[in-house]
A and B are shown apart, each in its own frame.
Chain A
């Protein structure tokens, strides 16, 4: 069974940093591209970033480019999102997703003073 478990969310002040993690199990992690998607409270889904299976290809939404960094460790079956210079508008539940088929339960990031 595919399992994706996000962690690392929490309350952070504007300008601060957080590192999200996504622990994967139940599939060959190194064979799949991975994605981060977020959902602001009461809003729709917004793609944040994607990384190919070997990290050769990385993409970011314009809204996070230069502030967020996606990475993965295939030996640890883990996906990461380093978020710097956080803004109030980054407040959202952040989901990791395998390709576009399987999603984690999400982790809440709140940016507030």
Chain B
């Protein structure tokens, strides 16, 4: 099974900061990767699909990049509503696997 290594597990940042979260797959997954945001007590929300495509309705400050084994989620200017936990998901093959999550906290 493909393993997804997400880093960092947590980070502290200020409003307006640029934030970068990475996911590394244990083998190539083309661009079959999504990024999710989850707030406490809520369902995950899809932000990015196919590694770099912005889901409809998601603010343009979110962007994704990468292909193969290394992927990045970038928030260009962190907003108060962006404090949450972020997960990557590989859907290249079964079993689909989520990264361990990155909790973005207020500095």
Q: Which residues of A are in contact with B by a Cβ distance under 8 Å?
A: 35, 44-47, 50, 59, 61-62, 95, 100-106
Contacts and interface: CB of A to CB of B under 8 A. Distances in A.
B71 interface: no
Contact of A46 (B36, B43, B45, B98): B98
B91 interface: yes
A44 B43 contact: no
Contacts of A104: 43
A48 to B, nearest CB: 10
A35 B49 CA distance: 16
Interface residues of B, number: 21
A59 B94 contact: yes
B98 A100 contact: no
A50 B49 CA distance: 18
B95 A101 contact: no
B43 A100 contact: no
Contacts of A101: 46, 49, 55
B34 to A, nearest CB: 6
B89 interface: yes
Contacts of A95: 43-44
B85 to A, nearest CB: 8
Contacts of B89: 45, 100
Contact of B43 (A50, A59, A62, A105): A105
B84 to A, nearest CB: 13
B44 A45 contact: yes
Residue of B42, B91, B95 most packed against chain A (CB within 10 A): B95
B16 to A, nearest CB: 28
Nearest to B55: A101
Contacts of A61: 95
Contacts of A44: 87, 98-101
Interface in B91-107: 91, 94-101
The list of the 5 closest CB pairs from A to B, nearest first, reads A103-B43, A45-B98, A47-B96, A44-B101, A59-B94
Contact of A50 (B34, B44, B94, B97): B94
